Structures are given as C-alpha cells and as structure tokens.
Structure 1
C-alpha cells in the first residue's frame, strides 16, 4: 500500500507541475493584460504539435525550445490584432468570450492539419529509463518535468525581479496608468507579457505530450485545474500559482490511491474550502476576494 500511495503521489506531483506551468502563464496574462485567457489550453496543444512536427528535424531538445517560441509568435499576432482592441473595455467578459472562441478555432485547426487521432511525442530513450528497480515510476523524464517547472519558475522570477521589462511588468500589475504616464509603452509591455505567458503554456504542453501523448483537446484537461491553482494559490501571486498547482496535483494523486472516482472532484473541493476559509488564497493580495 505504501508503494502504491507513493506511486500515485508522484504521479500527482507530475500532474501538478503541468498545472503550475499553465497557471503561471495564466496568472501573468490575467495580471497585466486583464485577460482571462481560455485559449491557453489550445496554445498548449498547438505548441505540442509544433514540437511533434519539428522533432524529426531538430530533435526533442530543439523542439522543446523552438515550439513554445512559435506558439508565442502566434500569441503575439493574436494579441496585437484581436485582444488589444478590447483592453479599453473594463469588463473582462469580452476577452473571456474572445479567447473562448479562439480555443475552438485553434482546436479545429489542429484537427485539420494533424488529424483528430492521438499521436505520441518521442522523447530521448535515456529519459524513459527507471532510476530504481523498486521505485519503477521514478524515471528520468518525470524528474526532468519537475526540474523544468522549478527552473522555469526561478527564471521567470529572475526576469521579473532583475530585468527592466520584468520590473515594468510588476509595476504595471500595480498601477498601469502611472507607468503609462511615465512614458512606458503599455501596449508593447502587454504584448511581451502575453507572449511570456503563452511560452509557459507551450512548455507545459510539450512536457505533457511526452508523458501523456498528443491530442487536439489535451489542453482542456489542464485549463480548469490551472485556474483552480490560481484561486488556491492566490490571484496576483506567481508563487501562489506555483504552489496551488503542485498542491492540487498532489491531492489528486493521493486521492486516486484511495478513491479514484474523486480524483478530479477533490481539486474543486480544495478550491471551495479555500474560498470559504481564506478567500484571497494562500499568497494572494488581501481584499481581492474578501
């Protein structure tokens, strides 16, 4: 029983890493762009399919680097041509509906180009090997997924803290009008922020495809838990989004060991309890939901 519990807990941690990467991108876009990006899951799937196409030519590592950037380039085109037009409308329902529709369009585009059937994404063989005969589920690839989530998060915090664009993004989250009055081009800033958020979704998509395989709707299974991770961790907190993703993933994995039917329900139970006990989330700003 102990090994089974450890197996499910580790599986949940891996799933939580996918949630965390998705949640980080969503939290970035929600914070500065004031956009509830329901197309995040579609961008994630698209990046995974880009990697699938590129892998025979540039290998897995090349695809892991190039595919998220291609998804980010598409995100930039969509942000500048469509989403930017809605920034002056204060109600986020407009961007929510726009990105909701975009998600369906992008999923149909994936089906048209690559087909509706699932596909495998080849990963380096040495990463598939178990690191222990006892803990057979402890493979190099799974540790690599957790490592990428942690390193990616650390890199994001480094950019936000020590670079000019990162400092401006943080300042814009607090007071966009003031930094605009100081001469910062907020449209370019929002575009850069949107691209960074999409790149995180792309990385999550490629890593998830290596573990779970490719299908056009693969983002649908991660988009809602990613939003839950933001609520649990605290809206406005990137650290909270990371913790929220790992917590709900771990809780889901442990629940699977005892009652598999409740493995998804427990995610929303945690969110409900958090909204009652601490509405701002683990590390959210006081007063945001209170």
Structure 2
C-alpha cells in the first residue's frame, strides 16, 4: 500500500476540498428548499436554472469584462426571469393537482435548454477564473486554489444574509409563518401571492448564483443542468425537503463524502452521494432535518 495513502496532510486537504465542493452543493439545494418549503413546488427545472445562471454570467462577463458584474447581474437577470415564471406559469396552476407544477417545471427545463442552444449554440463556453482570484493559497497543510476559498466565503455570506433575513426581520417572520400556515396570513391581510412571487424569484436567483460561482470550475454547456439536478435533489432529500438547515448540513456532508471517496475509491466517487442518500433514507425517511410526510 502506498505509504502516503493515510498521510494526514493529504486527508486534511481532501476534507477541505470536500467543504469547498459542499459549498456549491449548498447553493444548489438552498433555492430548491426555499421554493419547496414556501410554495410546496418540486422544481424540476432547478438544474437548468443553474445552467442558465452560468450562461447569464458568461453573457455579462463578455460585455463588461468584469467577473464581479457577472456575479451580481447574472443572478439578478435570472431571478427576474423567475418572477415571470411564477407570475405567468406557476400561479395559474394554484389550487390544482400538485403534479401540474411538477410537470410544468419538468417541461420548462427542456425549454430552457433549447433556448440556450438557440442563443449560444450547443458547444460549451469558456469561463476563466478571474485573475485576482487565480493561483493558490498556503493553508499550512498544503496549497489550495484561491477561487475555491472565495466560493466558500460567498456561500457563507449568503447563508448569514438568509439567516438574518429570515430570523431577524419582519419579512422573514412573514415568510416563515407563510411556510407553516398561509391561510393565517390571508386572514391577517398579507398578500400571499406577492410573497410567493418574491420567494420563488429568490430561489431561482440563488440557483443562478450557484451557476455563476461554479462556471469557472465546471464546463459551461447546455447539458450541465442535467447532472446538477440529480445533485441538487440528492442533497435536498438528504437534508430534508424544505429545510434550509438541512440543505446546509447535507451539502457540506455530501461534499466531504464525495471528496473522501475520490481519495480512497475514485471509481466510486460518481455514485457516493446517492449511496449516502440511500443510507440516510433507510434511517430517516424524511431526511436529516425534514418533517415526516414531506418526502418526495
């Protein structure tokens, strides 16, 4: 056996790599959980929204030459598209079978893919790591890409902002109440439709932000959303459908599981998260932080 196989520094670096990978998974699952937790909609277009976010980042970066503009305006553009989707596609299905929004988002995913193909072509597009975030940093246990550290930092800031918004503001109180009992909010005179509109837009914008952040690390192509959708659902199901805390914990756990599997059994890395999901569901069918009866 390779004497460096159990090298502690190598394992520590791989664990840190798992956290960085998990940060992307967290961004994937957050938007999905927010939309399901508030609207009760399983968004099958989520992976392709992630893909559209990456292309929006490419679009803005090509015209401004600024990664920071892409990071800001890419998610805002896709979030605005999410507002239109909720208002003109999702809202008319209110009160109908839960299968209707599911089927609609499933078809919408294909529309988004074909739309991107028409506008940008079927070939992948490059998205270079910004110069100021290129290179590596010495963490004391090894060298690690600066851009991945940046991704972890951005996701941490997003989580703090979401926590503050949901726990420390009046709007957050209304959102949490609406997730539990929307009828009470209607009785109190809250415009629940407008609330759902902005929550859906936020969930879509978060997925798009994940796409922009992941673009320098993944190939930007019309099919990238298909793989991402499976990852997003695996993380969300492990954490518990509709649970933001579950999305965070599960995302980081899955990142570490995939990263460590790649170290010790590379041939199993592609299925590690799904094997982990199966094990979690055997013990807790509702996921780590989910409520019974909310599984897909």
Range of TM-score over shorter length: over 0.9
Question: Map of 1:191-270 to 2, 5 A cutoff?
Answer: 191-270=197-276
Query: 108-117 or 270-279: which moved more?
Result: 270-279
1:251 CA drift (Å): 0.2
Residue by residue over 1:235-281, the C-alpha shift from the partner in whole angstroms, topping out at 9 and shown as x without a partner, is: 23201111111111210111111222211322112111111212232
Residue in structure 1 matching 2:77, options 61, 70, 74: 70
Q: What SS is found at the alignment partner of 2:289?
A: coil
Instruction: Note the alpha carbon deviations across 1:150-191, whole angstroms, 9 max, x for none.
Output: 111111111112223221111011001111111111110000
Return the TM-score normalized by structure 2.
0.91
CA distance in 2, matches of 1:78, 1:137: 43
- Any unmatched runs of 5+ in structure 2? none
Structure 2 distance, partners of 1:269, 1:255, is 11
**C-alpha distance in 1 between matches for 2:201 and 2:264:** 40
In structure 1, runs of 5+ residues without a counterpart are none
Residues 37-52 of structure 1 mapped to structure 2, 5 A cutoff: 37-52=43-58
Distance in 2 between the 1:113 and 1:135 partners?
45
2:122 matched residue in structure 1: 116
Counterpart residue number, 1:17 = 23
Q: Is the 8 A contact 1:17 1:245 kept in 2?
A: yes
* Equivalent residues in 2 for 1:52-131, closer than 5 Å: 52-56=58-62, 57=64, 59-89=66-96, 91-131=97-137
SS state at 2:176 partner:
helix
State the 1:100 CA deviation: 0.8
Q: Which residue of 2 aligns with 1:166?
A: 172
When normalised by structure 1's length, the TM-score is 0.93
Aligned partners of 1:111 and 1:14: how far apart in 2? 30
CA RMSD of aligned residues (A): 1.9
- How many equivalent residue pairs? 288
User: Aligned-pair distance for 1:61?
Assistant: 0.4
Q: CA deviation at 1:222?
A: 1.8
* Counterparts of residues 170-189 of structure 1 (less than 5 Å): 170-189=176-195
Task: State whether residues 11 and 253 of structure 1, in contact with CA within 8 Å, keep that contact through their aligned partners in structure 2.
Answer: yes
More deviation, 58-67/68-77: 58-67
Residue pair 1:4, 1:257 contacting (<8 A) in 2 also = no
- Please say if residues 228 and 267 of structure 1, whose CA atoms lie closer than 8 Å, have aligned partners that are also in contact: yes
- 3-state SS in 1 of match to 2:33: helix
User: Which of 22, 28, 31 matches 2:34?
Assistant: 28
Alpha carbons of structure 1 residues 10 and 213: separation in structure 2 relative to 1, 3 Å: farther
Residues 77, 288 of structure 1: CA spacing in aligned structure 2 closer, same or farther, 3 A cutoff? closer
- The question of whether the paired residues in 1 share the 8 Å contact of 2:47 and 2:232 is answered with no
SS of the residue corresponding to residue 213 of structure 1 reads: coil
